[in-house]
Amino acid sequence: MTFLQILINIIYTSCIVILLSYSFAISYYPVKFFNITFAAIISTGAYLTYLLFRQLNIILWIAIPIATFLSAFIGVLFNIFIYRPLNKKKASSLLMLLVSLGIYIILQNCISLLWGDEIRSLQIANVKIGHEIFGAFITNVQIITISVSLTLFMLTIYFLEYNKIGKCIRAVSTNKELASIQGINSERVILWTIGIGSCLAAVAGILVATENGLTPTMGFNLLLSGVIAMIIGGVGSNCGLIGGSILLASAQQLTAYYMDSKWVDAVAYLILIMFLIWRPLGISGKRLKKIEI
Amino acid sequence: MKRFNYQLEIITVIVTVMLLEGCHSFEKKNVQIGLIADLSGTMATYGKWVKEGAELAVAEINSNSTQKIDLSFEDSKSDPKSALSALEKLYNINKIRMIVAGNSSSCVMAMAPVVNDKKILLFSTLASSPNITNAGEYVFRNRISGTFESQSMAIEASKLGMKSIAILATNNDAGIPYIKAFTDKFKEQKGEIVASILINPGQSDFRSYALLIKTLRPEAVFLVTTVDQAVNFINQSITIGFTPKWLGISSLKTDQFITNGGKNVEGAIITNEGIDQNGKRYIEFSSKYFKKFGENPTIYAVNGYDAIHLLYESYIRTNNIEMVKYELLRNSFSGAAGIIKFDENGDVVKDLELLKVEGGKFISIK
Amino acid sequence: MEYLLHLLILITIYIMLAQSLSLIAGFAGMISLAHAGFFGIGAYTTAILSVNYHFPFLITLPVGMVICGIIAILISTIAIRTVDDYFIICTIGIQIVIFSIMNNWMSLTNGPLGISGIQPINIFGLNLSNKLPFLLLSIIFTLAIYMFLRFIIKSGFGRVLKAISEDEIYTQSIGKNVYLSKVTAFAISAMIAAIPGVLYAHYISYIDPTSFTVDESIFILSIVIIGGMRNLMGILIAAAFLVLLPEALRFIGLPNLIAANLRQIIYGIILIVVIFKSDTIGFTIVTKE
């Protein structure tokens, strides 16, 4: 019963991490820099939903899509006005990272200004005991979260595989120069990836907020776990990404249950480091030139 | 060096501005008080409460008396280095020698050596760490020590007939001091601590901990966390069918605890610094506060409000920082929190009371 | 102007940290986010030795450096097996483990309550409790580190490091020991990072784990990035810029209600504008075609 409950926790956490890491990964492949702005997009999505649903009393099922698209719009705007010119100047990826950190600081403080730093609640229903399955419990919100994240994940993969824009995205992610030779407008494709990524990130933020409430800084830790899952999975592989998320979630949840609570972080990260040393290229093990020494 | 032109220009401007400000002599007719609080960063909510309480006190004083007050704010960003820079700025540039601190104990501890060296009065309103007790003769505080608070809670818990308790505490200077004090006292009362769990500041997923504590079947869980973490823990425990009694510390006495916790926090028992809730000063203060900021005052707002009044009144009477120090040690004051007295270490002496959440309100129980 | 002196001391400390990081991040191409950890190890070594055993500065400094070096060698022999993004994640992990040890090993580090009462530096009877002499001392250390790093970079070892960051396989193929060079560079960098740690502990006289978090590592890396990954002079200016900017914003009069957040927003905007305006083309390390 305890084991089953831990299993449910792991599944729930990994679903959120999958969504987070995929939202980050989809725009990481073509631009190849750590876009910390996503941390702000995660909280923006949640706070916009809060604004529409709680403060303007719009029905939740309308509020969520509006909030999602608005956050995607913000993400795209930043891309057009800041990252694109920087990219033209051939700024290094680290410089871009620093700029995205600056944008994160700006957006996070804007949220603090507008809604304050205290926790806000976005509970859809009253918190009550979940459905019992063999002694373990699962709540409606958890079921919704798991199904929504998996559905979105599948949809995005389907989109990338079979849609024309999706194919362009994959082409640009693999090789920008080659894609341009084929006549693909890589700038526009990057905008698409930022848009899709921001949508997914905002949804992830909303899903987390319905369970844990909202704070302006909620996005940073969430993004970090997404990035780590992506890198552990091995850049450029969907299966690896799922594996990375499950590994990260299991490491967190299992150490939390079995270890002395104060060493949880240390042990969870040691497991990740050990894993990276065992498989230096992540789960998918996609080859990098440097390591083949 | 072409590529650094802009940075160099900005640095030059910054240094010039600082030098100019430093030479600029301030008009010192008014009483000068500084406020260094965590207004951004992880502790921002708490710093904001202190600031709001202080602002209310300043507005009151400036509208009622001829001798006015100048309050200068600095942000310590929840970071000891930043707190120290803010202190150096207030002391050297604004020439302020009375400072109210609304930040964590690590910030207060970083400022303490400078404060004692330069004979600046530092009045901490937020930090509960036992470290502060011995931080020096110029450091005062009107937040009670965490040791005292948790010992009282342990005694009260065993009076309520509880035999086994689990502790959930934040793994930082605001949580650690409570654990040992509570454990020792509760064991003295023949109680059993089944688990003491440390959580990270900023963490929000506690499902594994809730599960772990559930299997140990304690009668109650003592929450030494921020409001959001306490509410999240309670909610996540309830979803797996774990409903013990909830105990908490006075940081939970906020409107958010009630609004975000809803029905689930009904029956929770928390300690509260001995504020005389029926006192005239408190009722007056809390209605003013509610009108201005739209929420009931937290303990930190009360402390910030009282700190300004205390410093102002003592300074008006003596006109000398040294004398204010003795005044604080010697006299007792009446503030929004009731009668305020300090012991020889500059720690406040207050009673504790217990509050219970009933019908969406904090009700005092005895 | 005590306030300015205080800021100058902070600037020198960050210059030392950023320059030591530049050795591995800029020259050897290993972006590390564990630098605040080594900074902290240096600070904690001094704090523990001088508070508990009353060791003088001249002993705690080398001891701190040696301990940092040993830990760095132990860590790097493992961590260097990973490259690029994986190395960054690995160093974040190391940083979190080091922080966790500082925060939880109560009997040694006093955990989150920190260590207070670290005595000011005392060299040959000279008491450096005042800010001005302390600043002079830290400037001397900064200069020494600068000269030392320049020496390393100009030497054959420095050229090997540059070659590694350009092409590891090629460097290996011409008979250089890539692995050993990386470990050495990492250890030297960590040992240098211990020096500002020692100075910082004596200066603030109270340390606790929150000063040595991932955020601090990111800040140190930001200095290196803005200064230019391989530009030791640039790092000097960037450190001054990044330390002074938030302080300067304290002088801008803003409405109290929104001042704190607005200052942070302005900070973000200036950061972006400076990166935009300066023609730093930068140095691509993370991505390589």
Residue C90 in domain: yes
CA atoms within 13 A on the CB side of A241: 24
Residue B10 and residue B139 share a domain: yes
Between these two residues, B261 and A41, which has the higher pLDDT value? Answer: A41
Q: Enumerate neighbours of B (3 or more CB pairs within 8 A).
A: A, C
C153-201 tens-digit pLDDT: 999 999 999 888 888 888 888 888 888 999 999 999 999 999 999 999 9
**Residue A97 to chain B, least CA–CA distance (Å):** 19
Average the pLDDT over each of A1-5, A72-76, B10-14, B210-214 and give the range with the smallest value: B10-14
**Per mean pLDDT, which range of A142-151, A162-171, B105-114, B307-316 is the poorest?**
A162-171
Q: DSSP character for C252?
A: S
**CATH number of the domain to which B116 belongs:** 3.40.50.2300
Tell whether B310 and B196 lie within a shared domain.
no
Instruction: Write the residue in C4, C104, C278 that is nearest to B4 by C-beta.
Output: C278
Beta carbons within 10 angstroms of residue A29's beta carbon = 17
pLDDT of residue C227: 85
- Residue among A91, A113, A292 minimizing CB distance to C281: A91
Q: What is the pLDDT of residue A239?
A: 85
Q: How far is C30 from chain B (nearest CA, A)?
A: 24
Residue of B238, B103, B182, B208 whose CA lies nearest to A264: B208
DSSP, collapsed to helix, strand or coil, labels residue A280 as coil
**Mean pLDDT of the region A77-106:** 86
Parallel, antiparallel, or unpaired: how do β-strands B164-170 and B139-141 relate?
A: unpaired
Dist. CA B350–CA B356, nearest whole Å:
19
Token digits of residue A140: 């409606």
Name the domain count of chain C. Answer: 1
Structure confidence at residue A290 (pLDDT): 47
Name the pLDDT band for A293 (thresholds 50, 70, 90).
very low
Using the Cβ of B45 and the Cβ atoms of chain A, whether some distance falls under 8 Å is answered with yes
C31 φ/ψ angles, rounded to the nearest 5 degrees:
-75, 110
What pLDDT shows up at residue C279? 55
Give the range of the structural domain holding residue B23, as residue numbers without chain letter: 6-143+279-350
- The DSSP annotation for B221-275 comes to EEEES-HHHHHHHHHHHHHTT---EEEE-GGG-SHHHHHHHGGGGTT-EEEEE--
Q: Within 10 Å of residue C253's Cβ, how many Cβ atoms?
A: 7
- Beta-strand relationship, B139-141 and B121-124: parallel
Domain presence at residue B358: yes
Q: Which two tokens stand for residue C183?
A: 């470990």
Check: CB of residue B73 under 8 Å from CB of residue B35. Answer: yes
Under DSSP, the state recorded for C210 is: G
Query: What is the C-alpha separation between A262 and B200, in angstroms, rounded?
Result: 8
Q: B252 and B110, same structural domain?
A: no
Q: Do A257 and B198 touch (CB under 8 A)?
A: no
Q: Beta strands of B42-125 (E only): which ranges? A: 69-75, 98-102, 121-124
Look at residues C86, C97, C44, C60 and name the one whose alpha carbon lies nearest to residue C214. C97
What are the CA-CA distances from residue C93 to residues A273, B350, C30, C99, C206 (Å)? 7, 44, 15, 10, 26
Convert the pLDDT of each residue in B278-324 to its tens digit. Answer: 788 888 899 999 999 888 898 899 999 999 999 998 998 888 888 88
CA A160 to chain centre: 17
Q: How is residue B317 written in tokens? A: 């009477």
When pLDDT is averaged across residues A74-102 and rounded to a whole number, the result is 86
Q: Which amino acid is at A166?
A: G
Provide CB contacts within 8 A for B272, sequence distance 6+. B250, B253, B299, B352, B353, B354, B355, B362, B364
Write out chain B residues lying below 8 Å of A137, CB-based. Answer: 239-241
Exposed/middle/buried for C152, CB within 10 Å: 0-12, 13-18, 19+? Answer: middle
Residue listed under structure tokens 């304690």:
B218
Give domain status of residue C286, yes or no.
no
Q: Categorize the per-residue pLDDT at A105 as very low, low, confident or very high, splitting at 50, 70 and 90.
A: very high
Inter-chain contacts counted by CB atoms under 8 A, chains B and C: 142
Q: Is B143 within 8 Å of B136 (Cβ atoms)?
A: no
**Partner chains of C (3+ C-beta pairs under 8 Å):** A, B
Q: Side chain identity at A84, as an amino acid letter?
A: R
- Domain-located, residue C283: no
How many CB atoms lie under 10 A from the CB of residue A138?
20
Residue A161 burial (CB count, 10 A): 11
Beta-carbon separation of A139 and B259 below 8 A:
no
CB contact under 8 A, A262 and B240: no
Q: Is residue C227 part of a domain?
A: yes
Share of chain A above pLDDT 70, in %: 97
Could you list the residue range(s) of the whole structural domain that residue C69 is in? 2-277
B130 and B238 co-located in one domain: no
Q: Taking CA atoms, what residue in C is nearest to A85?
A: C276
CB-based contact B11 C241, cutoff 8 Å: yes
What are the sequence ranges of the domains in chain A? 15-217
Q: Which residues of A touch B205 (CB under 8 A)?
A: 13, 212, 252
Task: Flag whether B42 is in a domain.
Answer: yes
Closest CA to C268 of A101, A83, B39: A101
Structure tokens at A260: 């002395």
Mind listing the pLDDT tens digit of every residue in chain C (289 residues)?
A: 788 899 999 999 999 999 999 999 888 888 899 999 999 999 999 999 999 998 988 999 999 999 999 999 999 888 888 877 788 888 999 999 999 999 999 899 988 888 988 888 888 777 778 889 999 999 999 999 999 999 999 999 999 998 888 888 888 888 888 889 999 999 999 999 999 999 999 998 899 998 999 989 999 999 998 888 888 888 888 899 889 988 888 887 777 777 888 888 988 998 888 887 765 444 333 333 2
Q: Which chains sit next to A, with 3 or more Cβ pairs under 8 A?
A: B, C
Asked if residue B98 is part of any domain, the answer here is yes
Reading phi first (left if > 0) and then psi (alpha if -120 to 50, else beta), residue B199 is in: beta
Give the ipTM: 0.89
For chain B (366 residues), the mean pLDDT of every run of 10, in chain order, is 61 74 64 89 85 92 88 88 92 89 90 91 89 88 88 89 91 87 90 90 87 91 91 90 90 88 87 79 90 89 92 88 86 84 86 86 83
**Minimum Cα–Cα distance from A99: chain C residue:** C272
- C10, B18: Cβ pair inside 8 Å? no
Q: Name the domain count of chain B.
A: 2
Q: Looking up tokens 């290094």, which residue turns up?
A: A92
Please tell me the distance from the alpha carbon of residue C68 to that of residue A209, in angstroms, as a whole number.
41
The distance from CA C8 to its chain's CA centroid, rounded to whole angstroms, is: 16
Provide the token pair at B130. Answer: 């036992």
Kindly determine whether residue A112 and residue B40, on different chains, have CB atoms separated by under 8 Å: yes
A110 lies within 8 A of chain C by CB: yes
Q: Which residues of A touch B227 (CB under 8 A)?
A: 118-119
Which residue do the tokens 């831990």 mark?
A6
Q: Pick the residue with more confidence: B316 or A235?
A: B316
B203 is a domain residue: yes
Contact C277, C265 (CB under 8 A): no
Answer whether B299's CB lies under 8 Å from B250's CB.
yes
Asked whether residue B1 is assigned to any structural domain, the reply reads no
* Same domain for B332 and B267: no
Dist. CA B189–CA B154, nearest whole Å: 8
* Among the partner residues C1, C10, C226, nearest to B81 by beta-carbon distance: C10
Residue A52 DSSP code: I
Q: How far is B151 from chain A (nearest CA, A)?
A: 23
> H or E stretch including B199?
strand B192-199
Q: Measuring CA to CA, how many Å separate B4 from each of B8, C149, C241, C274?
A: 6, 21, 10, 9
Residues B209 and B69 in one domain: no
- DSSP type of residue B94: S
Indicate whether A292 pLDDT > 70. no
Same domain, B202 and B291: no
Provide the 3-class DSSP secondary structure of residue C25.
Answer: helix
First to last CA, chain A: 48
Q: Do A213 and B260 touch (CB under 8 A)?
A: yes
CATH classification at residue C216: 1.10.3470
